[in-house]
Amino acid sequence: MSKDETLGEALRRQGISRRGFLKFCAATASMMALPPSMVPVIAAALESARRPSVIWLSFQECTGCTESLTRSHAPTVEGLIFDTISLDYHHTLQAAAGSAAEAARKTAMKENFGKYILVVDGSIPTGNPGYSTIAGISNHDMLMETAKGAAAIVAVGTCAAFGGIPQANPNPTGAVSVSDLVHDKPIINVSGCPPIPVVITGVLAHFLTFGTIPELDDQGRPMAYYGKSIHDRCYRRPFYDKGLFAETFDDEGAKKGWCLYKLGCKGPVTYNACATTKWNEGTSFPIESGHPCLGCSEPGFWDAGSFYRAISTPTEDIAKTAVYSVGAGAAAGVALGAMNRAKQRRAVETHEKVTIDDLEKEKQP
Amino acid sequence: MNVEIGDGLTHNVKPLLHEIRHALGKLLATAETTTIDLRSLPLAPGEEDKLLAELGHGEVHAGLNALGPSEIVETRFAGVWVVLHYNNDREVLGKFIEICEIPELLRAQPADIRDGLEQLQAQLA
């Protein structure tokens, strides 16, 4: 595909009719969380857009973010978006490695200086540059060098956006986020562990369509996806409002789909699109599948207290230092915590245990 | 083990139907069309099915085959269309309710007509 070709020309050449293109634009608008009235604007913009060069650098990451993005099959909107960008360097996806691959990166940087999009996943170690290197170049040096000519940087995943799991206590590698190191470029934080695939491609699509970065919140995350908390969009909210909570996994409340607040749900303090956009092409999300939200799109979520204790209960540390025992509000907090534990104990006692025999019986026709 | 799902948990079905009612009124009065993206709203499991069941099926059921299948169905309310977009793996790309005389996607597009004309001319030459 030639670099001078517009997106519209490229799609037409692939045999996609105008109808197909309009369907693509409608799906893209939905993906970018834009109102359907924007479809003609998107159509006009995408038709004349040129393919931007994208350099993707992977640092201290588990590859979950790349996996999240590439788990789409056949021609999907995500796939098409990806095809229409010129992915000039992706350490994990590309077959090349070593000096030839690095040469390709340098060439892409030089040819598109000031115009390429830099995508980063994984955190950057600052303790010892040797902790994470590519072709002998430390993550830190590669980031600083590649950032120089970038038009914008997309930090994909909580590791690149906020430090993520490598930064979790005790942070053995001195891991930091992209925005801790780069201060002179616009940075879009697409946090989540991993982020929802359409959110990643939605940001790229926005850049393709408008040539600008989307509106960001105070953590640098696109407002379209991170503007509302999980709690405010959760379909189980009516149960929270009525005080109907699951006390343990698979008790009566859990079976009825009641609120998971007492089981540690971080929904009230987590901003992401999971409750509306959902996962696996809109199939479900953790709460709908019966598991409390982990808060994976927030900074420091690994160290924010147990995943399975309600956010209103004090953490172990606070109780031990006795700071929390001062003040009426604190006493109420501790009392609530105690109430929670008593209810939990009662629920566990009345819980019907399922044995292997029961499961075996269920299997028989 | 039965998982019970409450009926109408988000209670968004009725407000959506009212929104459609308003849009139909606008369509009649000023010919202004409206499109609602179903995936932009929180709907509990079962609520989307309830909404689509309420809207029902009308006289038109069209299948589109471009970048994967799409279904364009006129509901039992004339002018209210349900447009469902899938890719070739039957994964959902978009779900819309369009209030209009005819969804844009059902129209033959000028660029495609031009291509067709050229092909026909070449064939008959």
Residue B42 lies in a domain: yes
Q: Which chain A residues in 274-293 lie under 8 Å from chain B, judged by CB atoms?
A: 275-277, 281-282, 288
- Sheet containing strand A150-156, edge to edge, reads A86-90, A53-58, A116-121, A150-156, A187-190
Nearest to A259 by CA among A268, A334, A283, A227: A268
Q: What is the CATH number of the domain that holds B89?
A: 3.30.1370.140
Residues of chain B positioned with their CB less than 8 A from the CB of A199: none
Which stretches of chain B are DSSP H helices?
Answer: 13-30, 47-55, 110-124
B66 touches chain A (CB under 8 A): yes
Q: How many structural domains comprise chain B?
A: 1
- Interchain contact, A27 vs B85, CB within 8 Å: yes
Task: With 0.90 as the threshold, say if the pTM is over it.
Answer: no
pLDDT band at A276; cut points 50, 70, 90? confident
Written as one string, the DSSP assignment of A31-90 is HTT--GGGHHHHHHHHHHPBPPEEEEEE-B--SHHHHHHHT--SS-HHHHHHHHSEEEEE
The span from the CA of B40 to the CA of A73, in Å, is 23
Residue B1 lies in a domain: no
Residue B4 lies in a domain: no
pLDDT in tens, A27-59: 888 877 788 888 888 888 878 877 778 899 999
Nearest to A224 by CA among B96, B40, B36: B40
Q: Is the pLDDT of residue A25 over 50?
A: yes
pLDDT in tens, A311-362: 887 766 554 554 444 444 455 555 555 555 666 677 667 766 667 776 677 6
pLDDT at site A323:
46
Residue B5 lies in a domain: no
Q: What is the mean pLDDT of residues A78-103?
A: 73
**B57 to chain A, minimum CA–CA distance in Å?**
22
Residue of A nearest to B97 (CA): A36
Residue B59 lies in a domain: yes
Residue B92 lies in a domain: yes
Q: Lowest-confidence range among A192-201, A216-225, A246-255?
A: A192-201
pLDDT in tens, A61-88: 999 988 887 764 434 555 656 666 667 7
Nearest to A278 by CA among B21, B113, B41, B18: B41
pLDDT band at A219; cut points 50, 70, 90? very high
Residue A247's CB is within 10 A of a number of other CB atoms, namely: 20
Which stretches of A153-258 are DSSP H helices?
Answer: 157-162, 164-167, 178-181, 197-210, 223-226, 230-233, 237-242, 252-255
Q: What is the mean pLDDT of residues A146-174?
A: 95
Residues 6+ apart with CB under 8 A from A195: A65, A68, A156, A157, A297
The per-residue pLDDT of chain A, averaged, comes to: 83
CA distances from A159 to A88, A122, A134, A276, B30 (A): 23, 5, 18, 24, 51
Residue B7 lies in a domain: no
- Interchain contact, A36 vs B37, CB within 8 Å: yes
Token pair of B112 as six digits: 């495609």
Show the domain range for B60.
13-124
Residue B41 lies in a domain: yes
Domains of chain A, with CATH numbers?
Answer: 51-226 (3.40.50.700), 230-350 (4.10.480.10)
